[in-house]
Amino acid sequence: MAKTVTVKENESGKSWTYPVLSGSAGPDVVDIRKFYADTDMFTYDPGFTSTGSCESKITFIDGDNGILLHRGYPIEELAENCNFEEVAFLMLNGELPNAEQKSKFEHDITYHTMLHEQVRSFYSGFRRDAHPMAVMCGVAGALAAFYHDSLDITNPAHRKISSYRLIAKMPTIAAWAYKYSLGQPFVYPRNDLGYAENFLYMMFATPCEEYKVNPILAKAMDRILILHADHEQNASTSTVRLAGSSGANPFACIAAGIASLWGPAHGGANEAVLTMLKEIGDKSRIPEFIKRAKDKNDSFRLMGFGHRVYKNYDPRARIMSRTCSEVLKELNIKDNPLLDIAMELERIALEDEYFIEKKLYPNVDFYSGIIFQAMGIPVTMFTALFALARTTGWVTQWNEMIEDPQQKIGRPRQLYTGAPKREFVPLKKRK
Ligand code: CMC
């Protein structure tokens, strides 16, 4: 017999039965689409802690067991055996590419990395000290003004070219935001370099001398991009889907995703980790900060700890921790005071009753900030890097949503607790 859930209203004694849907993995979901029509009641779930917003075949997370799969493949295996372009192909197409498909995809992405020359002038409109996320949000959204040839979201060819453009151009947009903040000339992309390598090249090369990207750092960057490529229906991805559900163009939707990612509870956490480590300043002050993190009356939280979904170790954090050691070894960084504080903080938090009980483990952002800092990437660029990696996931999720026959404009309802209807008071009579 098909599984159902019956809801009973105790006052009237009425009951309604709802079908339960099973996915290929993960918890079943109760299909409540008819709930309002049947009961004249809404469901209430701020933060969507119990609500599935869509059907998806892209990413699966088992937070209790620390599992993350993209199109069925464990993140550990993808990070170990693939480059970022292969993972992007997998995301977009559902299958890993063969050798021919891989090189064609790499070629196609590479040949869209340049920005329209007029986009350059956008940059000069920003203050030099603008946050790179503000610049990325503005420039990514502005791309819609340049590609009128591909804005018909009902046309699969248009969706494909827009998706490629977004994935290809995001490293250029991010690197130029950094160059602009320094007052250095923009460095144009190079077609002989891989995706991650090209990004590092555009960040650190200047026209004055030859610049060779360190292959170990390029590999580390590639892995970091893979680890951030997608993460199911998180805040920014849900923002992209919600923006796209109205039929908005993909450039506008990705700009919305960037805006959502910027917050410190989401992608902004890697930047917040570094700020926190600097604020702690010395290992001797760690107990004081741990005490604050546990204090209910103090809003301070240990940045880089905890996750809405992972209640076991974040599998991305484990790979990130290894990558962190590789990068520090390659750069011969032995005494890094911030790293020392980070490692000690991790050790203490993992042994502390409060963190154990609440299942607060280091998340992906705890280590990424340390790696970026060692690579010479400024703190304000950390979240920008997250955005460039996540663009692949956003674009894939956006495509899946548009192709979903069940797709409707996203329109949540509310529990209204404001004033009920009341009589209007003319200005003269107001006290
Ligand atoms: N430090 C101290 N206490 C914490 C922390 C933390 N980092 N995170 C959660 N808690 C406590 C929280 O106070 C609450 O305690 P209580 O039950 O006594 O009220 C309990 O743990 C559950 O917290 P919550 O806020 O209800 O959990 P959530 O699922 O809504 O929040 C989170 C998840 C990631 C927003 C949160 O853990 C947090 O703010 N972490 C720090 C920011 C961070 O590192 N964010 C990056 C997330 S990973 C990258 C990404 O995917 O964007």
pLDDT in tens, 162-204: 999 999 999 999 999 999 999 999 999 999 999 999 999 999 9
Nearest CA to ligand 1 atom 44: 304
What is the per-residue pLDDT across 56-81, written as a single tens digit (0 to 9) for each?
999 999 998 999 999 999 999 999 99
Q: Report the pLDDT averaged over residues 277-292.
A: 93
Q: Report the pLDDT averaged over residues 378-405.
A: 95
Q: Report the pLDDT averaged over residues 327-355.
A: 87
Find, among 369, 383, 368, the residue nearest to 134 by Cα.
383
> Which residue in 222, 230, 314, 365 is the catalytic one?
365
Q: How far apart are the first and last CA of the chain?
A: 65
365 flagged as catalytic? yes
Query: Is pLDDT of 334 > 80?
Result: no
Strand locations in 29-102 (E): 29-30, 59-62, 67-70, 73-74
> What integer pLDDT is reported at residue 155 of this predicted model?
97
Greatest alpha-carbon pair distance for the chain in Å reads: 79
**Burial bucket for residue 249 (CB in 10 Å: 0-12, 13-18, 19+):** buried
- The helix or strand, by DSSP H or E, that contains position 7, with its residue range, turns out to be strand 4-8
Strand locations in 49-125 (E): 59-62, 67-70, 73-74
Distance from Cα 323 to the centre of ligand 1, integer Å: 24
Check pocket membership of 363 for ligand 1, CB cut-off 6 A. Answer: yes
8 Å CB contact between 377 and 175: no
**Residue 373 confidence class, pLDDT cut points 50, 70, 90:** confident
Nearest CA to ligand 1 atom 17: 358
Q: Would you mind telling me the total number of residues written for the chain in this entry?
A: 431
- Compute the distance between CA of residue 73 and CA of residue 88 in angstroms, rounded to an integer: 13
295 flagged as catalytic? no
Burial pattern 386-404, b for ≥16 Cβ within 10 A else e, equals: bbbbbbbbbbbbbbbbbee
Nearest CA to ligand 1 atom 28: 308
Check pocket membership of 290 for ligand 1, CB cut-off 6 A. Answer: no
SS3 state at 68: strand
> What integer pLDDT is reported at residue 335 of this predicted model?
76
Nearest CA to ligand 1 atom 51: 266
> Which residue in 307, 314, 340, 404 is the catalytic one?
307
Mutate to test the pocket of ligand 1, among 75, 301, 346, 370 (most ligand atoms within 8 A of CB): 301
What angle in degrees, to the nearest 10, is found between the helix axes of 382-403 and 250-261? 140
Mean pLDDT of the chain: 94
Check pocket membership of 158 for ligand 1, CB cut-off 6 A. Answer: no
What is the per-residue pLDDT across 242-268, written as a single tens digit (0 to 9) for each?
999 999 999 999 999 999 999 988 888
- Percentage of the chain lying above the pLDDT 70 cut: 100
- Compute the distance between CA of residue 333 and CA of residue 366 in angstroms, rounded to an integer: 18
DSSP state of 25: S
Check pocket membership of 173 for ligand 1, CB cut-off 6 A. Answer: no
Nearest CA to ligand 1 atom 34: 307
Check pocket membership of 393 for ligand 1, CB cut-off 6 A. Answer: no
Burial pattern 111-145, b for ≥16 Cβ within 10 A else e, equals: ebbebeeebeebbeebeeebbbbbbbbbbbbbbbe
Residue 223's contacts (CB-CB under 8 Å, 6 or more residues apart) are: 79, 319, 323
